[in-house]
Structure formats: structure tokens, C-alpha cells
Amino acid sequence: EQPLLTQKYYGLRLGTTRVIYKEDAPSTSFWIMNEKEYPILVQTQVYNDDKSSKAPFIVTPPILKVESNARTRLKVIPTSNLFNKNEESLYWLCVKGVPPLNDNESNNKNNITTNLNVNV
């Protein structure tokens, strides 16, 4: 059975399925690519395992414009050093892509934003 909407349909692609942060590193990074013929506004955030509360990481830049057929690198940076050294933790990286609207589409109810979630 085919998925209703695929990552290729959205046109926003992540360069990884998981982001691994090693506790002694100052940051880690991943890339995203806009495969569409128009720019996309991208918003990123890291959440705790419950997918609602903010995690002890930030993504920089948190909001950016990715031009058509362009690839850019984003950094995941810890905001604290209170990690348990004896166990792994799971967080969720949410990458939201918003396509542009022109004046004729402002009332279009079928405008679809992209939400991609991967493990950190």
C-alpha cells in the first residue's frame, strides 16, 4: 500500500533519519534540501519524548528560508549539560516546511505544510 503523501511530494528532504548528539560535542548537524521549484520557509524545534514539551536543545537557525533546489546545514546545540551519562535519551526533531502563498491562493484551503520528525 502506497503512503498518501511522501517526502518527495512535499519536496523537503532531510539528510538523515536520526540526529546523534554525543555528550562531549559542542553540537551536531544535519542538512535539509528543498527539492521544489519555489522557496520554502522552514521552522525547526526539538521536543522531549512526549512530543510536546521543549527539549534541552536548540536548532540554529530556528527559522530560515530555503531557496528552490537548495541544500543547507542546520546545527543542534545543547542548552544545558545535565545529561545522564549512564543512559541514552530520546528527543524529537521537528522540521516544518511552509510553501509560499501567492495572492490567488490566499483563500485556498488545500495548502499543505510539511512536518518531518526524526529522533535525536
- CA atoms of 23 and 21, how far apart (whole Å): 6
Side chain identity at residue 91, one-letter code: Y
Strands 40-47 and 92-98: antiparallel
Which helix (H) or strand (E) segment is 8 a member of?
Answer: helix 7-10
What pTM value is reported for the model?
0.76
Q: Which residues pair with 73 in a beta bridge?
A: 31
Query: For the domain 7-100+111-119, what is the CATH superfamily, name and number?
Result: Immunoglobulins (2.60.40.10)
Segment 16-34, tens digit of pLDDT: 889 999 888 899 999 999 9
Ranges of each domain in the chain = 7-100+111-119
Tens digit of each residue's pLDDT (9 = 90 or more) over 86-101:
788 889 999 988 888 7
Q: φ and ψ at 10, to 5 degrees?
A: -70, -35
- Residues 89, 48: contact at Cβ < 8 Å? no
